[in-house]
């Protein structure tokens, strides 16, 4: 990048592409949470993904050639865990929001994978997370019903 006041429009487009991919892969997860009225949703999930992607894109360019990339990733993972923790609620011994919290953390990993151009990981995380959110509740109920009839 030229720091002499010039903007590299090629880099702007490349970064927008990364952020767009992170957004597209996170949007279905946010849509699912929004549709199910389960805490953070359509705005939060894509923001976590593009924010994670952006922090690592910045780190890639600023920390090139150093060993600081791992520290950046550790800090990112911790911060996203904190955000996700805010969606976990405990009421009279019942805990809810753990799937949403885990999905938020996973969404950060999606953004990180996109930033490192590991699209295969980002796509796999997005698909598996979406399928678990959509069908995990029914599978969980099926397993509970099956164990109740056996016990």
Residue 78 clears pLDDT 80, i.e. is over it:
yes
The chain-wide mean pLDDT, for the chain, equals 86
Residue 50: inside a domain: yes
Short-list 50, 34, 27, 21, CA closest to 108: 50
pLDDT tens-digit profile of 83-124? 888 888 888 888 888 888 999 999 999 999 999 999 999 999
Q: How far apart are CA 36 and CA 84, in angstroms?
A: 17
Residue 2: inside a domain: no
Q: How far apart are CA 25 and CA 11, in angstroms?
A: 21
Residue 144 clears pLDDT 70, i.e. is over it:
no
Q: Which helix or strand (DSSP H or E) is residue 18 part of? A: helix 9-35
The pLDDT-based confidence of 64 (bands split at 50, 70, 90) is confident
pLDDT confidence of residue 12: 93
**Number of structural domains found in the chain:** 1
Residue 138: inside a domain: yes
Residue 1: inside a domain: no
Residue 3: inside a domain: no
Between 39 and 119, the higher pLDDT residue: 119
Range of the domain at 70: 9-145
Residue 37 clears pLDDT 90, i.e. is over it:
no
Residue 151: inside a domain: no
Residue 150: inside a domain: no
Q: Return the top range by mean pLDDT from 31-35, 56-60, 111-115.
A: 111-115
Tokens 């992607």 map to which residue?
53
Residue 140: inside a domain: yes
pLDDT confidence of residue 125: 97
């Amino acid at each position: 990048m030229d720091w002499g006041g010039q903007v590299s429009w090629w880099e702007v487009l490349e970064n927008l592409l990364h952020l767009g991919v992170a957004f597209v892969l996170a949007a279905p997860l946010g849509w699912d949470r929004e549709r199910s009225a389960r805490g953070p949703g359509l705005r939060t999930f894509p923001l976590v993904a593009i924010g994670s992607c952006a922090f690592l894109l910045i780190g890639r360019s600023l920390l090139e050639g150093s060993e600081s990339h791992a520290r950046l990733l550790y800090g990112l993972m911790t911060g996203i865990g904190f955000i996700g923790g805010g969606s976990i609620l405990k009421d009279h011994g019942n805990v809810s929001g753990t799937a949403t919290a885990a999905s938020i953390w996973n969404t950060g990993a999606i953004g990180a994978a996109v930033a490192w151009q590991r699209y295969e990981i980002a796509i796999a995380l997005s698909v598996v997370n979406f399928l678990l959110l959509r069908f995990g509740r029914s599978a969980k109920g099926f397993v509970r019903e099956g164990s109740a009839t056996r016990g």
